[in-house]
Every structure is written in C-alpha cells, then in structure tokens.
A and B are shown apart, each in its own frame.
Chain A
Amino acid sequence: MKLLEYQAKEVLASLGIAIPPGMIARSADEAGAAFSKFGPVAVKAQVPVGGRGKAGGIKLAKTADEARRAAEQIIGMDIKGFKVPLVYCEAALDIDREIYLGFTVDRDARANILMLSAKGGMDIEQVAEESPDAIARLYPNPWRGPLDFELAQLVYDADLGDLARPLMVLMKKLYRAIPDSDALTAEINPLVVTKSGDVIAGDAKLEIDDNAAWRHKELEQRYGSVLEGDPYEAEAKKRGLTYVSLDGDIGIVGNGAGLCMSTLDLVQRAGGRAANFCDIGGGAKAEVVENALAVILMNPKVKGVLINVFGGITRGDEVAKGIVTARDNLKMKLPLVVRMSGTREEEGREILRQNGIEPGASAWEAAKKIVEFVSSPLVGRSGPKGRGGAG
C-alpha cells in the first residue's frame, strides 16, 4: 500500500519527525480556510505516484483566492492515471538547504538500504547517475537497526557533518517505519533545513508491504479507503484475485505471474493490446476461472478474452468444463480463445470444441487468433452471431 503524502506525514509525525503544519482540503472553501490558518501555503495534489510537481499538481498560494483557485484546478485532475481526490495545504517553508534521505529495499543485496545525500530535491535520480558518490549508503542490520557510529559515518560520508546530531536522531526515528510498519520505502525528499536551522520533512513517501497487511490492520483501516483507485482492481481483490487494468481491448486470464506476463507479451507481439489481465494463481479450479472471467468482463473496453492456463493439479478436461460453465453462467457473447496445456489436454480441447470454443494450438497461435477476432470489424460488444462466442 502506497500512502499519500499527508498520510505518510502523519506516520512520520507519530515517529517524532517534524513536519510542516498543514491540513487536507477537499474543496476550494477548505483550501481557503487553510490559508486563513497558515498564511501562504503549498497546495499539493495527493496521489500515490511521483512526478506530480511536473504534472502541475503543486501550486504555491500567496493569497486566499490563489489557494481556492489552486484547489479548484488540482482536485479531480488526472495525474498518471490517478484522479486527485484531495489536496494537502501546507505552510510554505523558509528553505535554506534540501537534503535527500530514504530507506528502501535493495532487492539485489536482499537488504534494506539507507541513503543520504546533501543534494536533495527533484533531481536525485540524476545525482545517482552522474555522481553516485554524492549519495552515502548504509545497509543496517535488520535485527538491531542502524547503530550510532554507522549513522555518524553515513552523515560524514554525505558531507553533512554540521548536521550530524539532528540527522542521526532523525534517521533513527525514520528507521522505526521498517520494523514497526513493514515499510518497503520510507523517503523524505526534500528533507528541508530552514533558515532558522530546523530540519523538517518537506515531502514524504511511504510504501507498506501488502504481504504484511495482516499485522497492520490499523493502517489499512485508517488509510485504505481514501483513494478510489480502480473499481475492477478493488472487485478482484475482494475475490482474492490479482488483477491489473491496462488500456487495450483484450482481456487475459492466466495462472501464475510469469504465464500472465508472457501472455501479455504474445498479445502485443501479435499486434493487439490487453485491456486487463487476471492472475488466478497456480491452480485452475472452475469457480476461480469463473470469478476471474466475471471481473475481466466488467470492463466495457474488453472486446475479446484470451484464457491461457496450465492445468497443474487440475486436469485438462476439468479445466475445459470449468471454462464452458463459466462462459454459460456469465452469458458471455464475446470472442473467447482458450489455450490450455497439461494432463488430459487433448480431452480438454475436445470438450472446448464440442462447446463451440476453438482451442489455440499454442500460446502464440491463441494470441494471434484473439487479436484477429478483436480487430475484425464484425466483432462488436455482442460478438459474432451464431458463433456462440467461439474463438
């Protein structure tokens, strides 16, 4: 779960890290009220994705009117596929310096990494590329966390010795987000040093491990519902399925992440575009296939469906029967191409044929077939008549 900035800052504040005064606003009036409370404010779009500044999602307001106008412009704006639900109005800071501070998982090192750099701000990726030495790094022991002398070394390596005390205290506080909240990323960029010498979190990014949601129910309860997100993804989650929305017109059902991804690759290679895909996990049980197909078909952009499953434990004839039943139960009329392999795959294919579903000989053949059906001008939302939704 990726927290929004104001949520991440709430968590940071609870760890004892200084944040600027601010409040959320869901309307122009509320943004106006924020101005009356704090004076000049930064009006910031709340979306769980980077690059909002460049997308026009952050505006400085020097008057109440400007704050109102900024909120009006930003709320409802689309930033990289996310509709902005609300803005965070935050007292503008008197900035002297900007520092980069971030924890994340270094998957190649199989460890957490802490990074600190005197060159904070938007261009930190460029810093990483051009002068990697300007970013000091530490792999803290995951059982006991970073020790004082390790943090001191980091601070001096980053050439921030004049701020050693406040930075060391702050990094220890930020580290708590890892053991306490299962943070995968906890980043403050910029970490602002004000002209009066205070060290304050200018922005905050916090991503919580979904695998650990069971031990952080309070976070899910408090923050899980703010962002509307993709309604299909929400529905799939309810049904215990992995679902991803894309922007094409072919629905894909597969079992296993690797198989799903390789199916997407094949559809694109055949000249098609996937509308979504649903990973039903390792098995291929009938009710799971039906659930997945139901979610896939909710999206009105879907003009045809490709099912690519490997029958692991479930035999091919069972998989085929499940698919036929699912199609009938859902009264599906769209073109459907099925590619299945595994035990009794021949019997499975025969069952599909008998029920008007032409099985793909290979994953590649199946991908070409569904792309052909979907591109055909005859295929509309109701599907080719008399074909029984055959693929």
Chain B
Amino acid sequence: MSILLDSSTKVIVQGITGREGGFHTEQMQVLGTKVVGGTSPGKGGTSHLGVPVFNTMADAVEATGANASGIFVPAPFAADAIMEAAAAGITLIVCITEGIPIQDMIRVKDFLRGYPGARLIGANCPGLITPGQAKIGIIPQRITAPGFVGMVSRSGTLTYEVGSALSAAGMGQSTIVGIGGDPVLGMTFSDVVELFEKDPATTHLVLIGEIGGSDEERAAELLARGSRLKAVAFISGRTAPEGKRMGHAGAIISGNRGTAKSKEEAFRKAGVAVAETTDEIVGLLR
C-alpha cells in the first residue's frame, strides 16, 4: 500500500519533449511508472519515449484516461499548466518547475478551489515516489526501498539524504512526498500526514521541515490530536540568519510562528521525537 501513487496510476508528463521532462520521464519509466503520454503544444500526434504526445491536456486525458500529471514546463508557463491539468480532470498534479511567480501560484490556488478533487504537489518540489512501484518527479529511485515509513519533506536533497539513510538501515518507505519549498504551494504537511494516517501500510513517519510559514506547526497540532504513527521530525535552518526584514506586514500575520524553535516545540508537545541532526533520524525512528 501507499498514498497518492501506485503502479496503476496513469501519468501524463506535461513538457515531455523538453530536456528535463524527457530525462525524468525515462527515469520514471525505468521504475515501472505507467506513463501513458505527454503534452507539448504543436507536437500532438507524434510520439516520444514510446508514448503518444498531445497538444493539450484535455486531448491527453480523453485519449488515455490519465489521472495524474507531472509538470516540467518552464516557470512562465507552469501556472497555466497546473490549471490546464485540473480543468482536464487530473486528480494528482505534481509540479516540479522552480521559480514560478508567487502571484501566479496564489491565482492557481484560488482556481483549484473549483476542482476539489484535484490535489497539487509543489511547485518547486522533487515530486513523490512509491518505492518499487512508481514515481512522478525527480526523486532518485536508488535512495529508496519499499517499506513502512511515510516521508514528507520541504527539501529535495535533504530528502534524498534521509531516504538513503533509512533504506541503508532496512527501513523502507511506503511513499515519499516532497511538497516543495515555495511559500505558496499545493499539499501541506498536514494534508500528507492525514493520508499516511489512513494508510495501513504506513506505521512510521518522518517529517523534514524548515523555517518559515507555519505548516509544520499545523501538522504538529494534527498529530497531537492522536496518531498511530511513530514519528520523527527534523527542522533545518535553526541558525539561519533572520531575513533582513522590511515593513511590518509579514510580522503582523505570522507573529512568533515560523521559527525553528516554534516548530520543534510544537512537535515535541505533540509527542513527536525531534532530531537535532539528520544523522539522528534513523535511531529515533527505531
């Protein structure tokens, strides 16, 4: 079992003919991901990497019955690609693209309210992987192993590092979800934790957060209400310099939330073990 993604998920790659899109599609196929097609405006009717290419997402979904997409298009076009996927009926949208303007993402979030069945992961994220079954995004398969640990993270390379350590210690993963580091993004820690909570195959949980925002605090509040998962959290950035702030608007809305200290305290209060370094995570999870 897993969350969000398994070997039966039908995936369209948006931007499949691009360099990044093509490279990662191949990696996804190596793992066995059911990539059923791709989009690239103007190249509809051709085929690439053994799958059909469509001009639009509506065409792609109609022809393939896809229910998930991975987005590798450049930042100026990525917000539109997300909305196009949702409008075409895709229910799992994974946006890898980095550098999307925040106002674009705010409009995307509002647009997605009209598509309650659509879940967005990212943007600016490594995507997700269900080891041994499928992946959408760029998480290297070799750092993973099938198992029982659910992982949710805001960081890419840190996820790979912790994934490697867990796999080496014989602690495989049910699903690893990289939710991304942007200030305005799709699924939150809490959204993902809720899914792990309902997944019988997941018994352990690793949360990798960082300073800024209060998604970690909210996840901690959720876990504090009762959880069957044995959880460990790690927060990076406890010594990062405070942003040279201007204006008061940010401080008015965030107050004291968002610091590493606030996040760690919230997790401890929820009965979640807090790792001081990534090296400690495996030991605390045992």
Contacts and interface: CB of A to CB of B under 8 A. Distances in A.
Nearest to B238: A265
A342 B215 CA distance: 29
Interface stretch (A100-108, A192-200, A379-387): A100-108
Nearest to B237: A261
Interface of A: 2, 48-50, 80-82, 100, 102-108, 110-113, 115, 124-125, 128-129, 135, 141-143, 178-179, 182, 184-185, 187, 189, 205, 207, 209, 211-212, 214-215, 244, 246, 254-259, 261-262, 264-266, 268-269, 282, 309-310, 312-313, 341-343, 362-364
Given A128-B248, A342-B140, 15 more contacts: A50-B248, A107-B184, A110-B109, A110-B185, A125-B252, A211-B100, A257-B155, A264-B237, A265-B238, A265-B239, A282-B156, A312-B140, A312-B157, A342-B143, A362-B279
A141 B110 contact: yes
A207 B246 contact: yes
A102 B249 contact: yes
B240 A261 contact: yes
B40 interface: no
A265 B275 CA distance: 12
Interface string B113-154: 000000000000010000000000010101100000000011
A48, A110, A115: residue with the most chain B Cβ atoms closer than 10 Å: A110
Contact of B213 (A100, A107, A184): A107
A135 B253 CA distance: 10
B103 A104 contact: no
Contacts of B279: 362-364
27 contacts: A50-B246, A100-B248, A102-B248, A103-B249, A104-B247, A104-B253, A110-B106, A110-B185, A125-B252, A128-B252, A143-B107, A143-B111, A189-B248, A212-B104, A256-B158, A257-B181, A257-B210, A258-B154, A258-B159, A258-B236, A262-B277, A264-B237, A265-B238, A268-B239, A312-B140, A343-B140, A364-B279
A315 B140 CA distance: 12
Nearest to A279: B157
Nearest to B217: A108
Contacts of A107: 183-184, 212-213, 254
Interface in B159-211: 159-161, 164, 181, 183-185, 208, 210-211
Contact of B252 (A115, A205, A258, A362): A115
Nearest to B157: A256
Q: Which 5 pairs across A and B sit closest by C-beta, in order of nearness?
A: A258-B155, A256-B157, A104-B249, A212-B101, A258-B158
B50 interface: no
A267 to B, nearest CB: 8
A211 B277 contact: no
A135 B248 CA distance: 12
A107, A141, A178, A214: residue with the most chain B Cβ atoms closer than 10 Å: A107
A234 to B, nearest CB: 16
A341 B166 CA distance: 13
Given A258-B157, A342-B160, A209 B103 contact: yes
B255 A128 contact: yes
Contacts of B41: none
